[in-house]
Amino acid sequence: MNKKGNLIFLGTGSSDGIPRVSCLTNPNKTCKVCESAKNPDSKNRRRNTSIAILTDRNFEKKNIIIDAGKTFWDSAIKFFPKYNIRYIDEIVITHAHADAVGGFDYFRDWTNFVQETVSVNLREQDLDAIKNIYFYLFENGKVKSKGPIPKTSFNIIDENPFDFDGFEITPIPVFHGKEYISFGYKFGKVAYISDVSKIPESSEKLLEDLDILIIDALRPEPAYFSHFTYDQALEVIKKFRPKKSYFTDIMCAVDHDEANYNLSKLKSSEGLDIELSYDGLNIEFIY
Ligand SMILES: [Zn+2]
Ligand SMILES: [Zn+2]
């Protein structure tokens, strides 16, 4: 029998976060989006891309978090109490840039007061990066288990599917920049690709027959070397025609209501159901 899960967007913005400080301190106040994002409830307030997957396993909700970047704490204080997320059962990492792994030190609060360790699933190359960034979590190449540090355990993943108590997740390797590979993830009929500049042919089969596609769409233009623009994201949506698509990793060039209104027009003109995601958005999926 199919099960229902929830997916909560913990962050939908590009690396700097929105509002950007440089926009707020600009004497000409030219960025309306960042001005409106000063309101913490604004849909223009965007933290680093991250989602929480809430699944029902053995009659118990399990929480899987994809990425914990620089704004992880800010996402957690706002949305964890709201959606009743106390335990972090699994962390899954897309790649080792700061907006995906910059929040690891905050795990200390969990391992001090909520759970013994935080389990992090990542590629070997990302663990090597973590060893450099968070050198104090390791001693002689091994994970430290004592001291005032977050207690983490690391599981190495590769391009093969992995599962948590039967909840299967399949990596979707994609280019994020010219040669750098980042992972998107597929679970059920949902694909989540937060950082992409090109989808290699070998990953295309994972995008067929989707209920939901969540995809990087930094801004309408100009092109950027490591992220999709609207047109590039639209090309993928038109090719694979998921039932529903959400844009994420959004810059301050994009006003939520305005962009969402423009995207809604594609429904009647091209039969494409696309929305801009926003921090705190909660959707259901079947798996
Ligand atoms: Zn701005
Ligand atoms: Zn990145």
DSSP codes, 192-225: EE-S-SB--HHHHGGGTT-SEEEEE---SSS--S
What would the two tokens of residue 16 be? 């700097």
The pLDDT of residue 128: 97
Distance 95 CA to ligand 1 centre (A): 25
280, 48 in Cβ contact below 8 A?
Answer: no
Three-class SS of residue 275? strand
The pLDDT of residue 163: 95
Q: What is the mean pLDDT of residues 98-114?
A: 97
The pLDDT of residue 145: 87
Q: Could you read off the pLDDT of 170-222 as tens digits, one per residue?
A: 999 999 999 999 999 999 999 999 999 999 999 999 999 999 999 999 998 89
60-66 and 90-92: which strand pairing? parallel
> Looking at the CA of 250, which ligand is closest?
1
Distance 100 CA to ligand 2 centre (A): 7
Q: Please report the beta strands in the chain, taking only residues with DSSP state E, as ranges in sequence order.
A: 4-11, 50-57, 60-66, 90-92, 118-122, 138-139, 142-143, 152-156, 162-164, 167-175, 181-187, 190-193, 212-216, 244-248, 274-276, 282-286
Of all residues in the chain, the percent with pLDDT exceeding 90 is: 91
The pLDDT of residue 70: 98
> Looking at the CA of 23, which ligand is closest?
1
**Looking at the chain, how many residues does it have?**
287
Q: Could you read off the pLDDT of 114-140 as tens digits, one per residue?
A: 999 999 999 999 999 999 999 999 999
> Mean of the per-residue pLDDT values for the chain?
96
CA–CA separation, 281 and 51 (whole Å): 10
Q: Could you read off the pLDDT of 40-54 as tens digits, one per residue?
A: 999 999 999 999 999
> Looking at the CA of 14, which ligand is closest?
2
The pLDDT of residue 141: 87
The pLDDT of residue 58: 65
The pLDDT of residue 223: 87
Three-class SS of residue 179? coil
CA atoms in the 13 A half-sphere facing the CB of 102? 18
